[in-house]
Amino acid sequence: DTAVSQTPKYLVTQMGNDKSIKCEQNLGHDTMYWYKQDSKKFLKIMFSYNNKELIINETVPNRFSPKSPDKAHLNLHINSLELGDSAVYFCASSQDRTPSHTGELFFGEGSRLTVL
């Protein structure tokens, strides 16, 4: 029973294309996140949504647009892909609005995006 699932796991595409990564959680959590892990394994938050409302929006190019149709889904759409967008994108969820005292985020397996 997968808790946080992302699709696709691997995505190879050309510069300039538009692509989406989907994320779904079946934990009943209120908050979902997107993190980016770069080539140096540095893990950085991009966005978070609480009950479909955007609550964290880091300094991310506006080519990246998250969409949350309901609290169980958070998709990431990227326009005009650039070489520097190549990374592993992780979706995560937490029970509350923030990880709070538990600090527990539940992560998906990651989606490796390669831009050629």
Partner 1 sequence: AQRVTQPEKLLSVFKGAPVELKCNYSYSGSPELFWYVQYSRQRLQLLLRHISRESIKGFTADLNKGETSFHLKKPFAQEEDSAMYYCALLSNTGKLIFGQGTTLQVKP
Using CB under 8 A, list all residues that contact partner 1. 4, 35, 40-45, 48, 55-56, 90, 97-110
Which residues does 105 contact at the CB level (< 8 Å), separation at least 6?
A: 33, 92, 93, 94, 99
- Taking the complex as a whole, the smallest distance from the CB of residue 74 to partner 1 amounts, in Å, to 16
Distance CA 56, CA 58 (A): 6
- Taking the complex as a whole, the smallest distance from the CB of residue 82 to partner 1 amounts, in Å, to 23
Pick between residue 13 and residue 37 the one whose CB is nearest to partner 1. Answer: 37
- Taking the complex as a whole, the smallest distance from the CB of residue 55 to partner 1 amounts, in Å, to 8
Pick between residue 44 and residue 63 the one whose CB is nearest to partner 1. Answer: 44
Q: How far is CA 16 from the centre of its chain?
A: 20
Segment holding 7, helix H or strand E: strand 4-7
